[in-house]
Amino acid sequence: MSKNKNKCKKKRLCFTVCIICIASMFLGVISAEAYVSKTIAGYYRSDFVSGIAEAGVQQVLNAGIGYNISSYHVDASAATFKKSLQNREVVLLHSHGSTGYVTLSSTEKVYGTTVASWTDTLSAKLLYLSACKAGAQSSTYGFLPYELTKKGVRTVVSFKENISASSTTNGIHQFNLIAITNMTQGYTVSQSMALAYTTFRGMCTSGNYWGADSYQITGYGDYYLRHT
Amino acid sequence: MKKAGKIILITGLALLCFAAGFFGRVYVESHPVFPWTRIYAASQNGTELLNQYFDDVKFEGKVLPGDDESPLQYSSGDWEIQTDAKGENIIAIALTADAAKEAEEHLTTARRDIGIVTDSAETELEKYVDIKYYLDTEVTEDGNFYRITVTEKNNGRETGAEGYFVYYTNGTLFSAAFSERVLDFPENEEIITPQEAYDIAYNTICEERKDLEMSYDFSEDAVTLTTAQIGQVYHIELYGERDSMEIYCICVIYACTGKVEEIGYSDR
């Protein structure tokens, strides 16, 4: 009788342990999903304006579509940038750039060739590079957006020409913000950029589009910010 | 003591399982030895692409195990239509000439010929503006769209009438923006030279941005005469330097008067 009781007790214990283990594993998977998804990071330099890296992140957070984990990086290192591309869904950058690269600070640069040398896989769904000529291909520094998509970033938005703004019109910052706002409204990246540019052209009376006309999308244009 | 041991054991096991779930998930998400997520994405994309273009056929994604280059396909007799491995482009493969023709007809309905879409954009602009001069058209493709700019020109000079169109590659118009003609010819004779415009821009920026070390580098490429909604303007590109960082400047100047309309900087 007592042996049976003990057996029963052991069975119950085993069952409880199994349930706890399965539940823990399940929780782990969910936490991992949350760790990568619905997260957004902004990158800018301390000696530059923050532009979309701050305003764009805020726009997404305030849109009420479930993006609630954010981080801002000022004068970051290439290693930190890479980490964000591994564990953030969306990364928005505004900085100084030139053909084949972007800068993260006055000393730190990310070249197309830098990304080509990375051995890790990147899992960001959208990287928005608001920087002069970062989308142009360089025979020395490589083709940055292409290398990023090759390493796993799903969609890269970049500019092939110089981008700029004036204190009165806000130029490229206004364009970027319209594009991000469109994305929060359920449009895909392709649709958002196309719509933003159409809207922006109507605003620019002097025919100077502040470099917005040189935007390009590398990778899949069908990515969109998921609403919860 | 026995009870405490059990609690520690269960907690330990639970933590172990949590870690396995967490890191396992991250590993599957990011590790290159598991190409499944990418195949799935290609499969989804390809299926959506084909279904979008071929209304009469329902496509289903099919991925062959162990081969991430497998395209999605639809075949009819001796021709077949596929998407590429990324699901971005539609490809037709045919075994005979007749089959090629049949496949091509199907493809034409999928991706409109760029010439047809360009004609459509020009017709759209003509609906909006009474075109007097010739139209100049520029097309950019970005995978999902044709982006078309149609500009009215007279003797190579823009008149201000312009249309910007975004078409899906199947020829459906997605969005458009227009501007009306602001200039009728003969042109205004009192126009400043590109060199004069460059000098005005250079001096204005030197005055406005004392923190920049400006480089004077006049060339024909640095100055563009264009027609905007406010009339003919010069767009002038200049470069300055601040803390070893190159700063791009763009200055818009009225071509008739030399008045500065606006100046933009890459660090603003």
User: Which domain range does residue A6 map to?
Assistant: 1-36
Query: What was the pLDDT predicted at A133?
Result: 96
Could A208 and B244 be called an inter-chain contact, meaning their C-beta atoms sit closer than 8 Å?
Answer: no
Instruction: Confirm whether A152 is domain-assigned.
Output: yes
Could B15 and A24 be called an inter-chain contact, meaning their C-beta atoms sit closer than 8 Å?
Answer: yes
Query: What was the pLDDT predicted at B70?
Result: 42
Nearest chain B residue to A205, by CA: B229
- Model confidence at B190: pLDDT above 90: no
Burial of B210 (0-12, 13-18, 19+ CB in 10 A): exposed
Instruction: Confirm whether A17 is domain-assigned.
Output: yes
Chain B hits for A83, Cβ within 8 Å = none
How many angstroms separate the CA of residue A117 from the nearest CA in chain B? Answer: 15
pLDDT bucket at B96, cuts 50 / 70 / 90? low
A120 and A202 both lie in a single domain: yes
A32 and A70 both lie in a single domain: no
Q: Is the ipTM of this complex over 0.85?
A: no
Instruction: Confirm whether A80 is domain-assigned.
Output: yes
Instruction: Confirm whether A214 is domain-assigned.
Output: yes
- Rounded to a whole number, what is the largest CA-CA distance in chain A? 94
A29 and A42 both lie in a single domain: no
A61 and A105 both lie in a single domain: yes
A43 and A32 both lie in a single domain: no
* pLDDT, tens digit (0-9, with 9 covering 90-100), for B201-235: 999 999 999 999 999 999 989 999 988 888 889 99
A186 and A165 both lie in a single domain: yes
Strand partners, B240: B214, B247
A4 and A85 both lie in a single domain: no
Written as one letter, the residue type at B21 is G
Could B268 and A27 be called an inter-chain contact, meaning their C-beta atoms sit closer than 8 Å?
Answer: no
A110 and A176 both lie in a single domain: yes
* pLDDT, tens digit (0-9, with 9 covering 90-100), for A41-86: 999 999 999 999 999 999 999 998 888 778 899 999 999 999 999 9
Q: Which of A32, A47, A106 sits opposite B22 (nearest CB)?
A: A32
Contacts of B72 (CB under 8 A, 6+ apart): B43, B46, B47, B50, B59, B61, B62, B82, B83, B87
* pLDDT, tens digit (0-9, with 9 covering 90-100), for B32-86: 333 333 444 555 566 666 666 665 555 555 544 334 444 444 555 566 666 665 5
Could B266 and A210 be called an inter-chain contact, meaning their C-beta atoms sit closer than 8 Å?
Answer: no
A113 and A205 both lie in a single domain: yes
A86 and A169 both lie in a single domain: yes
Could B18 and A171 be called an inter-chain contact, meaning their C-beta atoms sit closer than 8 Å?
Answer: no
Instruction: Confirm whether A50 is domain-assigned.
Output: yes
Instruction: Confirm whether A114 is domain-assigned.
Output: yes
For residues A183 and A117, is the Cβ–Cβ distance under 8 A?
A: no
A21 and A97 both lie in a single domain: no
Q: Which of A96, A198, A199 sits opposite B266 (nearest CB)?
A: A96
For residues A211 and A163, is the Cβ–Cβ distance under 8 A?
A: yes
A13 and A75 both lie in a single domain: no
Could B228 and A163 be called an inter-chain contact, meaning their C-beta atoms sit closer than 8 Å?
Answer: no
How many angstroms separate the CA of residue A61 from the nearest CA in chain B? Answer: 24
Q: Which of A21, A121, A166 sits opposite B268 (nearest CB)?
A: A166
CATH number of the domain enclosing A81: 3.40.50.1460
User: How many domains does chain A divide into?
Assistant: 2
Query: What was the pLDDT predicted at A164?
Result: 95
Order of strands, edge to edge, in the sheet holding B73-76? B73-76, B79-83, B90-94
Chain B hits for A23, Cβ within 8 Å = 14
Query: What span, in angstroms and rounded, lies between the C-alpha atoms of A7 and A26?
Result: 29
Residues in chain A: 228
Query: What span, in angstroms and rounded, lies between the C-alpha atoms of A50 and B42?
Result: 35
Could B261 and A98 be called an inter-chain contact, meaning their C-beta atoms sit closer than 8 Å?
Answer: no
How many angstroms separate the CA of residue A63 from the nearest CA in chain B? Answer: 24
Q: Which of A31, A168, A202 sits opposite B177 (nearest CB)?
A: A202
